[in-house]
Structure 1
Amino acid sequence: MNYITVSGKTVEEAVAKAILELQTTKEQLSYRVLSEPQKGFLGIFGSKPAKIEARVLPDSVELAQTFLQTTVSLMGQETMITKTESNQRILFQLTEGNDAGRLIGKRGQTLESLEYLTNLVCNRGEQKYKRIELDIGDYRERRKQTLEQLALRVADKVTTQKKPLSLEPMNALERKIVHETLKSVKRVETKSEGSGVNRHIIVLYKG
């Protein structure tokens, strides 16, 4: 993006002018001081104003979307990305291309990795964290329903056998779905064990 050059009696005044001219905010303004103000003879003759070079910082969400589109293309996938924002939630919905399974990966691991990297790009240098979620072909909802059904089946086995059962390793969001699903189920309780990619849920019999 092109810079503009702005002058003012002080650097602060030049910054204020740049904000007005670029129709932006101080947080979104990037500038560097080209010259400090100088007082002339008797404070009048030969005085020089402050001069800055300024531009508007690119939108972090747009940068993240561009990064995601480029990364997906490099993976050999042709897909469109639709952005929706509601209640401070930013969702990038990827259309199902020629091989959606490759973008999702085993148990959604590839999709999780893409989401993690996209959030890193979005929040690099940002003061206020922005959370971006990725989905493709409503995979998230289908996975949620699968986990809920799995959790209930395992809970039924635990109450029948009166023995704890372990579930496969899951990410934090998926573990939360299982915990929430079984929270109101009588005679069972859940806990997480392990660390990193091996962290998993154990369903216990309460009696």
Structure 2
Amino acid sequence: MSDNTQVEVSAAPDEIDAEAAPVAPSRKDRAAALEREGEVAADFLERLLDIADLDGDLDVDIDGDRAIVAIVDSEEGRVPRRLVGPEGRVLEALQELSRMAVQAETGERSRLMLDVAGYRAQRRQAVIEVARVAIEKVKQTQQPEPLEPMTAFERKVAHDEVLRAGLTSESEGVDPRRHVVVLPV
């Protein structure tokens, strides 16, 4: 018996490659997906607040390539600050639960950002100030300057500020002691 296998090609090779290549979602499609992420997370958090009988309104927004959900004070009362927890640990856990709820609903990994009672906004400003002091010190001494350990969110804020100042930075260490080091030019 001979092994004469025949293969039939119904399209030109360049057409096959074009069909197999993934198509990047349009900006409009990506915005719609981010809005959906925010809505799913807000629904999850609203149910959670209701179950826990806690006050708070939910704001949903998009910032760049992330859905942003914020639990803010409502007319009925203030958002319990215990939802932030020591050093934002409860907030981080709620954010991860929200991301998991989004992934369960949409099948897509989420980069959703959660804020509670303006904690992240306040923390962002504090990290920017710390980074600016380190930037000035590095410019004067031309020596690397390590910052305090930070969360991934805070490290991103610090790296962005260092980049805006025309310097470079890197993260070193292992969580929970991972930190940014500002480097001279």
Q: Do both share a fold (TM > 0.5)? A: yes
The CA deviation at 1:130 is 4.0
Give the share of equivalent positions with the same residue, in percent. Answer: 28
Map of 1:38-77 to 2, 5 A cutoff? 64-72=41-49, 77=54
Letter in 2 for 1:152: R
Number of residues of Structure 1 aligned to a counterpart in Structure 2? 147
Distance in 1 between the 2:109 and 2:69 partners? 16
The verdict on how the C-alpha distance between 1:75 and 1:151 changes in structure 2, with shifts beyond 3 A counting, is farther
- TM-score, with length taken from structure 1: 0.56
Match of 1:90 in 2: 67
1:167 to 129, 147, 150: 147
Letter in 1 for 2:158: V
Match of 1:151 in 2: 131
Distance in 2 between the 1:61 and 1:137 partners? 17
Map of 1:1-207 to 2, 5 A cutoff? 64-72=41-49, 77-84=54-61, 89-96=66-73, 97-98=77-78, 100-124=80-104, 126-185=106-165, 188-206=167-185
The verdict on how the C-alpha distance between 1:190 and 1:123 changes in structure 2, with shifts beyond 3 A counting, is same
Name the SS of the counterpart of 2:148 in structure 1: coil
Q: Which runs of 5+ in 1 are unaligned?
A: 1-58
Contact 2:60-2:68 at 8 Å conserved across structures: yes
Structure whose residues are more often helix by fraction: 2
**Between Structure 1 and Structure 2, whose CA radius of gyration is higher?**
1
The verdict on how the C-alpha distance between 1:147 and 1:121 changes in structure 2, with shifts beyond 3 A counting, is same
The CA deviation at 1:137 is 3.4
Letter in 1 for 2:159: H
Task: Give RMSD over aligned pairs.
Answer: 3.1
The verdict on how the C-alpha distance between 1:204 and 1:81 changes in structure 2, with shifts beyond 3 A counting, is same
Distance in 2 between the 1:156 and 1:168 partners? 16
Contact 2:54-2:79 at 8 Å conserved across structures: yes
Letter in 2 for 1:199: R
Letter in 1 for 2:139: T
Q: Which runs of 5+ in 2 are unaligned?
A: 1-35
Name the SS of the counterpart of 1:128 in structure 2: coil
Tell which has more relative contact order, 1 or 2 (C-alpha 8 A, sep 6+).
Answer: 2
